[in-house]
């Protein structure tokens, strides 16, 4: 951090009034943008497994933010979700966050065998990148077991929107007890709300309440919230358009939005919304080891079962 | 008044005056007020309560300002005819959205207009005269602006307190002319707060009812001492259907925005379909003597590029005139469309 | 209340209501006061203004704060006005937050005062602000300012943006109350730094969970927030900037959220939308200018941080 060096006295003259010790801050607990900038620069991001994807996301999934990931079925939303749940656990000495994950599954698409596979893939990649540490410590070795990775994913299976609301309300307490959780994944946030909800106005209210709660969790516990979302078709201007589910008001309730789509036989991700980054797209691939860079344009489409 | 003649019971039985005397008296002491269009259709007198209703952005506040300028401008000044009333206006701002710059602009335009008429007849034009004219205009402007009284209210109790002080205010005014127009913008501003603050378990709208009663009582009291015209705006607070009813699918929405006419159309539709559900208590409705309703009609492109000029319609609901009038609002006035 | 304000109308009525009034509870007592016929003017500061006083106040204390986005500034007649509440509405990812970040950065960089930024969706991005400030600082090249190292300059600018996260309506009430108290203290002490801009991004996400339904409490809170904001804006010469999202209005169109009652709240409503790189800004409402004016412009690169590829 080059910014933290003490500033010459002249620069602070202008804001002397604010910085002089006698004055109370204008708002207790509020941070100045400057302090936030240094905080942000010391933040680590959660890698997606694909370098291209990390690039458009500014290094990976950011903590303290809510990221929505949408796409058609089979494009790899759940794969990416599981990948993130594994990647957040990469130990600090290997450049990761060394955190734990909460996975809230509403659709029943969490395949635990696949999680094991991805964890193995992740471990083998780590060992590939850090060959020297292979023999360095046995304790690190012990950590790098797929079982170990799986043990640190807290899995919630949700069967109705009431349960989902309850689980999200409970999360705050849960996270208070498990401070090492660094990512919360909800797969998918829309499922139950799209099924059995008649009162649309009420639905909007409940959902906007939920989204504020998730924002709060992300900020307070310094973790990333990832929401997976389905797509619906919308008939506009004579053609069907694919759009994310849950309506216009929900579309405002995330910090970042990533849309996954097929471009021919290739998977692409498109950053649709971000407060700090330009919109951009990048190819990625889902391999047996998990989400990785697309190797080449004629990369084979791997169907994962 | 009965209270004053209380000592002489016989006087109660005497005929007060003939109808002819009555009309000549009222014509002289309470002359009909001619307001700028589109408020000119119905004859208004001091003591009347005019309610201007219409959705947001339908020109309600603008009509108020036009009327205010009419009131504060003198009838004649330094040989220039302005056709104003030369009296004071009290503007009670409940929405807190009054913009004094707009009032100033309308007023300056009116003054400039009047002076221009004079100058057309006057052929001798030279720089000194213009300067003199300018300072005179500024004097008139400041004179007029001082007749405009303004108070901002942040809740219902401040509003009633303001009404209570109106009388002392009008008496202490050095202008001596007294308040002739009372404007309230807008009457429903605290509706939700008042509705929600009523004690639990009581009848619906109890506190709202009592607040409205107090407001009406105070206005009546004021009108008895000081004949004035009351102009009130009212915005609808219920939309037809909730905001989120159709909110099932969401688009990236960008393609919707691409065609802005679609959007305008929908906005128009929405405003049309507003059910004008009355939310003020019935006591208020019977207090209002005149009612005019404004609507946004259409948006026609104006001469300037990238600008759209809205057309509005006005319709008198009470007295019920069957004609609708179209008008459009430009930066500083109203243009009646024929 | 400074001495210039409050032309004492009723003499006695205005006395003795300096600070006491400010924190007076205003909800429950109302109905009691209402029913009494006794004038309750003693606890109300009758602030009757005349037109000239209003005009003086506006020209001296209520300035335009430029957002730094030229097209929007032109459209708004100079920028965000102090004493007024400006609303920016638009569909998701149309650039509402960018306008907020840009206004904050620009006003901070021009050293016009402190900026209070209330964030509800974790989208205040300090790195983005830093980028914008670098862009502006290069353009301005202020005297003396340039002599300082770049980082120190950035620091002093960024120190003047104060950010707080707010996640529910009650927290917002709390924050606004705190803000009012400290603004009042500042005013009394006649020192310290002045807050000139208050940004709430986005106010609709705080209000959406509570409005609607058959009970009026939600809307009551909404109007209360509106009243507090407008009061702060007028009393302390703040410019208040809020963002509102859009909801479907049926048949594929969209409209600003928060319903009919909110429409009467903002002084200025600006709608923005974005189609690839073309931004359209429309004035839906303005106190001074006729509404309905539109500006189309290419999204400045500083607004969105780069060109956007076509969406599939």
pLDDT in tens, C250-266: 666 778 888 888 888 89
pTM summary value:
0.80
Instruction: Flag whether residue A109 sits within 8 Å of chain B, measured between CB atoms.
Output: no
Q: Give a yes or no: residue C97 inside a domain.
A: yes
Range name among A133-137, B55-59, C263-267 with the lowest pLDDT average: A133-137
Q: Give a yes or no: residue C36 inside a domain.
A: no
User: Residue B176's pLDDT is what?
Assistant: 52
**Mean of pLDDT over chain A:** 80
Which residues from C are below 8 Å from A234, CB to CB?
Answer: 252
Tell me how crowded residue B261 is: count the other CB atoms within 10 A of its CB: 8
Range name among B313-322, C106-115, C194-203 with the lowest pLDDT average: B313-322
Q: Give a yes or no: residue C17 inside a domain.
A: no
Sign of dihedral through CA atoms B88, B79, B141, B330?
Answer: positive
Binary contact (C248, B97; C-beta < 8 A): no
Q: Give a yes or no: residue C42 inside a domain.
A: no
User: Residue B24's pLDDT is what?
Assistant: 83
Q: Give a yes or no: residue C266 inside a domain.
A: yes
CA angle A134, A139, A144 (to 5 degrees): 65
Q: Tell me: pLDDT of C241 over 90.
A: yes
- Using pLDDT thresholds of 50, 70 and 90, give the confidence band for residue C140: low
DSSP assignment of B102-147 equals HHHHHHHHHHHHHHHHHHHH-----HHHHHHHHHHHHHHHHHHHHT
- Subunits with 3+ C-beta pairs closer than 8 A to C: A, B
User: Residue C7's pLDDT is what?
Assistant: 39
Binary contact (C40, B160; C-beta < 8 A): yes
Of A18, A254, A261, the CB nearest to C193: A18
Q: Tell me: pLDDT of C24 over 80.
A: no
Which residues from C are below 8 Å from B165, CB to CB?
Answer: 9-10, 13, 39, 41, 44, 46, 48
**Residue partners of A165: CB distance under 8 A and separation at least 6:** A206, A210
Q: Tell me: pLDDT of C17 over 70.
A: no
Range name among A101-110, B228-237, C149-158 with the lowest pLDDT average: C149-158
Q: Tell me: pLDDT of A136 over 70.
A: no
Instruction: Flag whether residue B215 sits within 8 Å of chain C, measured between CB atoms.
Output: no
Instruction: Flag whether residue B102 sits within 8 Å of chain C, measured between CB atoms.
Output: yes
User: Residue B249's pLDDT is what?
Assistant: 35
Pick the CATH number of B30-237+253-337 from 3.40.50.720, 3.40.50.620, 2.40.30.60, 3.40.50.300: 3.40.50.300
Range of the domain at C289: 60-303
Average pLDDT over residues B179-201: 80
Q: Give a yes or no: residue C81 inside a domain.
A: yes
Report how far residue C147's alpha carbon sits from residue B251's, in angstroms, rounded to the nearest whole number: 49
- Using pLDDT thresholds of 50, 70 and 90, give the confidence band for residue C154: confident
What's the pLDDT tens digit per position in A270-298? 888 888 888 888 999 998 888 888 875 44
Q: How many domains are contained in chain C?
A: 1
User: Residue C219's pLDDT is what?
Assistant: 86
This model of the complex carries an ipTM of 0.79
* B149 close to C18: Cβ distance less than 8 angstroms: no
Instruction: Flag whether residue C261 sits within 8 Å of chain A, measured between CB atoms.
Output: no
**Homologous superfamily in CATH for domain A46-292:** P-loop containing nucleotide triphosphate hydrolases (3.40.50.300)
Of A201, A237, A251, the CB nearest to B242: A201
User: Residue B338's pLDDT is what?
Assistant: 57
* A273 close to A254: Cβ distance less than 8 angstroms: yes
Q: 61-80 in A: which are within 8 Å (CB) of C?
A: 64-66
> How many residues does this entry show for chain C?
312
User: Residue C41's pLDDT is what?
Assistant: 40
Range name among B36-45, B177-186, C167-176 with the lowest pLDDT average: B36-45
- Using pLDDT thresholds of 50, 70 and 90, give the confidence band for residue C138: low
Report the candidate in C263, A253, C200, C298 with the shortest Cα–Cα distance to residue B189. Answer: C263
What's the pLDDT tens digit per position in B240-284? 443 333 333 333 333 333 333 444 444 444 444 444 567 888 888
Report the candidate in A247, A268, A242, A224 with the shortest Cα–Cα distance to residue A67. Answer: A224
């Amino acid at each position: 951090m080059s910014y933290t060096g003490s500033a010459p006295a002249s620069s602070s003259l202008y804001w002397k009034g604010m910085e002089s010790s006698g004055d109370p801050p204008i708002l207790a607990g509020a941070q100045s943008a400057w302090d936030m900038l240094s905080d942000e620069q010391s933040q680590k991001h959660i890698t997606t497994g694909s370098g291209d994807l990390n690039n458009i996301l500014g290094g990976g999934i950011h903590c303290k933010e809510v990221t929505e990931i949408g796409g058609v079925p089979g494009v790899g939303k759940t794969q990416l979700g599981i990948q993130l749940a594994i990647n957040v656990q990469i130990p600090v000495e290997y450049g990761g966050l060394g955190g734990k994950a909460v996975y809230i599954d509403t659709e029943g698409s969490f395949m635990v065998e696949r999680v094991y596979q991805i964890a193995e893939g992740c471990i083998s990649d780590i060992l590939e990148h850090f060959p020297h540490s292979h023999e360095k410590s046995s304790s690190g070795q012990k950590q790098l077991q797929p079982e170990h990775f799986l043990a640190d994913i807290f899995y919630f299976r949700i069967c109705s929107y009431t349960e989902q609301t309850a689980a999200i309300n409970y999360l705050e307490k849960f996270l208070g007890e498990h401070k090492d959780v660094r990512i919360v994944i909800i797969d998918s946030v829309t499922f139950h709300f799209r099924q059995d909800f008649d009162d649309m106005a009420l639905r909007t209210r409940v959902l906007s309440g939920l989204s504020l709660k998730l924002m709060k969790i992300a900020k307070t516990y310094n973790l990333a919230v990832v929401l997976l979302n389905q797509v619906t078709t919308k008939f506009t201007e004579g053609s069907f358009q694919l759009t994310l589910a849950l309506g216009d008001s929900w579309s405002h309730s995330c910090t970042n939005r990533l849309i996954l789509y097929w471009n021919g036989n290739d998977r692409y991700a498109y950053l649709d919304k971000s407060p700090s980054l330009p919109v951009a797209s990048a190819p990625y691939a889902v391999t047996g080891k998990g989400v990785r860079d697309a190797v080449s344009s004629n990369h084979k489409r791997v169907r994962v079962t | 008044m009965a209270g004053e003649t209380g000592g002489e019971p016989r006087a109660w039985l005497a005929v007060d005056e003939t109808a002819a005397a009555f009309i000549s008296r009222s014509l002289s002491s309470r002359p009909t007020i001619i307001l700028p269009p589109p408020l000119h259709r119905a004859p208004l007198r001091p003591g009347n309560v005019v309610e201007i209703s219409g959705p947001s952005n339908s020109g309600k506040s603008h009509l108020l300002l036009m009327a205010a300028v009419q009131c504060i401008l003198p009838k004649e000044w330094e040989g220039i005819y302005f056709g104003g009333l030369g009296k004071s206006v009290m503007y009670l701002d409940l929405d807190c959205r009054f913009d004094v710059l707009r009032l100033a602009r309308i007023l300056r335009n009116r003054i400039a207009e009047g002076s221009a008429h004079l100058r057309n007849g006057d052929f001798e034009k030279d720089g000194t005269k213009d300067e003199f004219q300018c300072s005179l205009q500024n004097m008139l402007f400041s004179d007029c602006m001082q007749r405009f009284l303004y108070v901002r209210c942040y809740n219902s109790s401040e509003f009633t307190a303001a009404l209570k002080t109106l009388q002392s205010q009008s008496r202490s005014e050095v202008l001596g002319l007294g308040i002739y127009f009372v404007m309230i913008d807008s009457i429903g501003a605290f509706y939700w707060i008042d509705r929600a603050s009523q004690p639990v378990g009581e009848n619906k709208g109890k506190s709202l009812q009592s607040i409205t009663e107090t407001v009406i009582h105070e206005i009546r009291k004021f009108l008895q001492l000081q004949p004035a015209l009351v102009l009130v705006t009212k915005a609808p607070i219920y939309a037809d259907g909730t905001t989120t009813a159709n909110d099932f699918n969401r688009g990236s929405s960008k393609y919707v925005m691409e065609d802005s006419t679609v959007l305008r159309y929908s906005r128009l539709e929405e405003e049309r379909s507003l059910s004008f559900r009355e939310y003020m208590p019935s006591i208020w409705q019977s207090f209002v003597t005149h009612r005019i309703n404004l609507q946004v009609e259409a948006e026609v492109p104006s001469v300037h590029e990238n600008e759209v000029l809205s057309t509005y319609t006005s319709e008198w609901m009470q007295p019920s005139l069957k004609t609708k009038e179209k008008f459009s609002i430009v930066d500083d006035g109203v243009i009646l469309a024929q | 209340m400074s001495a210039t304000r409050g032309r004492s109308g009723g003499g006695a009525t205005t006395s003795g209501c300096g600070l006491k009034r400010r924190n007076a509870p205003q909800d429950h007592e109302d109905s009691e006061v209402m029913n009494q016929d006794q004038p309750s003017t003693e606890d109300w500061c009758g602030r009757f203004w005349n037109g000239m006083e209003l005009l003086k106040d506006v020209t001296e204390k209520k300035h335009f704060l430029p957002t730094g986005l030229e097209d929007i500034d032109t459209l708004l007649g100079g920028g965000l006005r102090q004493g007024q509440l400006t609303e920016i509405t638009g569909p998701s990812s149309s650039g509402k937050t960018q306008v907020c970040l840009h206004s904050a950065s620009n006003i901070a960089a021009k050293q016009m005062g402190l900026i209070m930024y209330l964030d509800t969706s974790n989208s205040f991005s300090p790195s983005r602000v830093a980028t914008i400030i670098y862009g502006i600082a290069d353009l301005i090249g202020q005297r003396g300012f340039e002599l300082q190292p770049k980082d120190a300059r950035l620091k002093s600018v960024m120190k003047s943006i104060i950010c707080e996260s707010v996640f529910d309506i009650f927290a917002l009430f709390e924050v606004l109350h705190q803000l009012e108290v400290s603004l009042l203290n500042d005013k009394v002490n006649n020192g310290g730094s002045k807050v000139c801009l208050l940004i709430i991004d986005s106010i609709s996400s705080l209000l959406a969970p509570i409005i609607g339904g058959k009970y009026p409490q939600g809307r009551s809170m909404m109007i209360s927030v509106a009243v507090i904001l407008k009061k702060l804006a007028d009393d302390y010469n703040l410019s208040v900037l809020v963002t509102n999202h859009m909801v479907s209005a049926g048949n594929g169109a969209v409209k600003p959220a928060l319903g009919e009652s909110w429409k009467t709240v903002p002084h200025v409503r600006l709608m923005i939308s974005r189609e690839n790189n073309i931004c359209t800004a429309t004035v839906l409402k303005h106190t001074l200018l006729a509404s309905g004016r539109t500006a189309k412009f290419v999204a400045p690169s500083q607004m969105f941080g780069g060109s956007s590829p076509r969406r599939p």
